[in-house]
Structure 1
């Protein structure tokens, strides 16, 4: 899960394939919607992509300056779903 540094206890969660920062409400639905599998980058294997736990055919992706949970059928969407993790 991706927890906010500024708002501890709040996590990035998909809702209708868009993202929100929400407090953990303790439900199984919240846990599933806020859980991602860190995998080798889809466009660059030395970077990272984040696969949805509740929708394993979708990935965290930036598109038009927004984060979305999308399928990644082509090279552009795979590039948009590939991130460099920093500390």
Structure 2
């Protein structure tokens, strides 16, 4: 995901945490910085983001950090809420 404030940087996962990084042109960078928008795990009217290269993990916030965690319909309600975002237009 491309940063709005820093247009030369992208959200990329590293060790399951999200960081802002400059695209190094590698295929690994592209895979780490690609997320698939899906119906929200806690509310289908909202949005969740599934990792491209770790498809069993979703973007979520926990303890003030964005990270990738394995979250499914069997996860706790809090886990699903933490992985569900309202995307404004």
TM-score (norm 2): 0.92
Unaligned runs of 5+ in 2: none
Unaligned runs of 5+ in 1: none
Corresponding residue for 2:82?
80
Shift, 1:55, TM fit: 0.4
1:23-76 deviation line (CA, Å, top 9, x unaligned)? 111100000000000000000000000000010000000001110100112221
Whole-angstrom distance in 1 between the partners of 2:82 and 2:6? 26
Whole-angstrom distance in 2 between the partners of 1:76 and 1:19? 20
TM-score (norm 1): 0.94
The equivalences for 1:1-87 within 5 A come to: 2-72=1-71, 73-87=75-89
Whole-angstrom distance in 1 between the partners of 2:23 and 2:61? 23
For the aligned residue pairs, the C-alpha RMSD in angstroms reads: 0.8
- Size of the alignment, in residue pairs? 86
Runs (4 or more) in structure 1 with deviation over 3 Å come to: none
